Amino acid sequence: MKKLSALVLLTTFVFCFLINPTFAIMENKSKNLPATTILDYINFDWWKKLDDPCLEKYIVTAINNNNDIKTAALKIEQAKLNVTATRAGQLPTIGIGASPLLLKMPETTNTSGSIALPIMASYELDIFGKNWDKTKSSKKLLEGTIYQTQSSDIAIISMVATTYYNIVNLDKIIELQKKLVKDREEIYRLMKLSNDKGIASTSDLILAEKSFVLAQNDLLDYEKARQNALNALAVLIGDSPNNTKEYQRSSLDELGIDFNIPNEISSDIITNRPDYKALEKQLEAAGIDVRVAKKEFLPTINILGLLTFIASSSMGSMSWKNSLSLLGASADLPLFTGFVRVANLKLNKNKYEQLLQNYQKTNLTAIQEVNDSLYNLKSNNEKLLNNIKAYDIQNRDYEYANAKYKIGVISKLDLLQQHESLLYMQKLLAQSKTDCYIDKISLYKTTGAKI
């Protein structure tokens, strides 16, 4: 009989493992999980084509040190642990206990002691696939989290590059503004000499002084904006803002103007955006959750196994003779739970509908963002080419004015005013060039780094 009891319990445990087909494959990784190599999904080769070693260095530093990127990686680990925790519902539970007892009967002076060592096992037969569906849902959420991380990382890297190019642009603007301040100071000096000789009016002198002061204020504003941008870059790459003086960058003049603008963007690129696919996985998980909520109305079937050894001074050591074994099953079907299951089903359906609407909106928004970025890049590139032509014209005009100044046809004041116009044109050109780079980064981001 004791051999039969042991055989029954052993068969129960084996049955628990074999009845659930999902347990046998639980360690297999999902074939649909996206790659998690950050250099791959941010398309680092695309950044290399910009041929800016300084920018590449900041991107790599951000990958290694950015706090948001590290937090996103932790969220993936959290989602993986959630899958592991959900899988536990597909497995049997086994426990062991110890119950020491001391017994004295009435009318006696003798006491006896015993200890019971129960081994218990229970398993929910997942014949309706409810627990398996819960695991599938958690896997979908894991995939969605990975795609969300990719989208977040692409956005962070884009922000690093945008901030970097704004700093490069401000370097050029400050360089030009310093020249403008110098010109305004010289104009004010010449105007003061003319006023002292009675050639220029006091009104013109005041206007020249005002222009000089305003140019100085503009220079201070540009320097403040650059320092703020440097501080922002420091945070993005996980560095202290106290180190911004050491930050290297390329000169705007060294950057090319061939932006390799595509004529159109394939719709496949839009549907492969990480944020789009993240919502897709969330929608799939929500659909599975609705199915799980429906299965909550079905009965729960459990298998229970118990094996207890009892040892006492009177019964001797633990042995099969002193054991108790039990094998049983139960089927539970709650008849009334205060409409909790009905409400839970409706909540999951509502969640699914919300995600569906958000999914459809994201599709439309993605198309809009890509179209806007592509149009802005084309438009600003055309504007850049026009500004290059305008700068060439202004430069020729300045060279002509400089030639006339050398032969005494015009005054130095007239020449300085022509140079001021040239500096303004250079500032417009610098801003147009920067706008094109920022638009290119925007197109990179809106296509999910797939351009």
Torsion of CA 164, 165, 166, 172, to 10 degrees: 120
User: Looking at the structure, do residues 113 and 190 belong to the same domain, yes or no?
Assistant: no
Same-domain status, 191 and 217: yes
Average pLDDT, the chain: 87
pLDDT of residue 117: 81
Mean pLDDT of 1-18: 44
What is the per-residue pLDDT for 36? 53
pLDDT of residue 448 exceeding 90, the answer is yes
Range of the structural domain that residue 315 is part of: 1-29+95-125+302-332
Q: Are 56 and 157 in contact (CB under 8 A)?
A: no
The first and second tokens of residue 362, run together, are: 């994201």
pLDDT per residue over 193-238, tens digit each?
Answer: 988 888 888 999 999 999 999 999 999 999 999 999 999 999 999 9
Q: How far apart are CA 43 and CA 73, in angstroms?
A: 18
In this structure, the answer to whether residues 104 and 182 fall within a common structural domain is no
Does some domain include residue 241? yes
Query: Any idea which of 264-268, 374-378, 407-411 has the lowest mean pLDDT?
Result: 264-268
> Is 337 among the domain residues?
no
Tell me the C-alpha distance between 418 and 179, whole Å: 13
Rounded Cα gap, residues 229 and 163, in angstroms = 6
**Which DSSP letter does residue 373 get?**
H
Q: Please give the pLDDT value at position 1.
A: 43
Same domain, 189 and 325: no
Q: What is the pLDDT of residue 324?
A: 79
pLDDT band at 37 (very low <50, low <70, confident <90, very high): confident
Structure confidence at residue 30 as a pLDDT band (50, 70, 90) = very low
* Burial letters 232-247, b for 16+ CB under 10 A, else e: bbbebbbbeeeebeeb
What proportion of the chain, given as a percentage, has pLDDT over 70?
A: 90
User: What pLDDT does 318 receive?
Assistant: 59
233 contacts: CB under 8 Å, gap ≥ 6: 58, 160, 163, 164, 167, 244, 247
Identify whether residues 208 and 328 lie together within a single domain.
no
Length of the chain (residues): 451
Report the domain count for the chain.
2
Query: Confidence class of residue 5 from pLDDT cuts 50, 70 and 90?
Result: very low
At residue 320, the pLDDT reads 66
Identify whether residues 220 and 103 lie together within a single domain: no
- Answer for the pair 302, 329: CB distance below 8 angstroms, yes or no: yes
Q: If pLDDT is split at 50, 70 and 90, which confidence band does 3 have?
A: very low
For residues 75 and 133, membership in a common domain is answered with yes
- Long-range contacts (CB closer than 8 Å, 24 or more residues apart) made by 358-363: 358/279, 359/279, 359/280, 359/283, 362/275, 362/276, 362/279, 363/270, 363/271, 363/276
Q: Is residue 451 predicted with pLDDT exceeding 90?
A: no
Q: Percentage of the chain with pLDDT > 90?
A: 65
Residues 250 and 163 in one domain: yes
Same domain, 106 and 235: no
Q: Where are the alpha helices (DSSP H) in 38-129?
A: 38-41, 44-48, 53-65, 67-87
Is the separation of the CB atoms in 6 and 325 below 8 Å?
yes
210 & 116 share domain: no
Domain assignment of residue 451, yes or no: no
The answer to whether 163 and 233 have CB atoms below 8 angstroms apart is yes
Closest CA to 55 of 249, 257, 237: 249
| Total-model pTM | 0.84
Residue 34: inside a domain:
no
Together in a domain, 313 and 437: no
Over residues 283-340, the pLDDT tens digits come to 999 999 999 999 999 898 889 888 887 776 544 555 667 777 888 888 888 887 778 9
Interval 128-174: pLDDT, tens: 889 999 999 999 999 999 999 999 999 999 999 999 999 999 999 99
Which residues fall within 8 angstroms of residue 294, CB to CB, at 6 or more apart?
Answer: 345
Domain with residue 67: its CATH number is 1.20.1600.10
| Residue 103 clears pLDDT 80, i.e. is over it | no
pLDDT tens figures, 175-185: 999 999 999 99
Pairing of strands 300-312, 323-332: antiparallel
Is it the case that residue 26 has pLDDT exceeding 60?
A: no
Kindly state whether residue 372 falls inside one of the protein's structural domains. yes
Using CA atoms, how far residue 354 sits from 83, 279, 342, 350, in Å, is 24, 11, 19, 6
Q: Are residues 204 and 318 in the same domain?
A: no
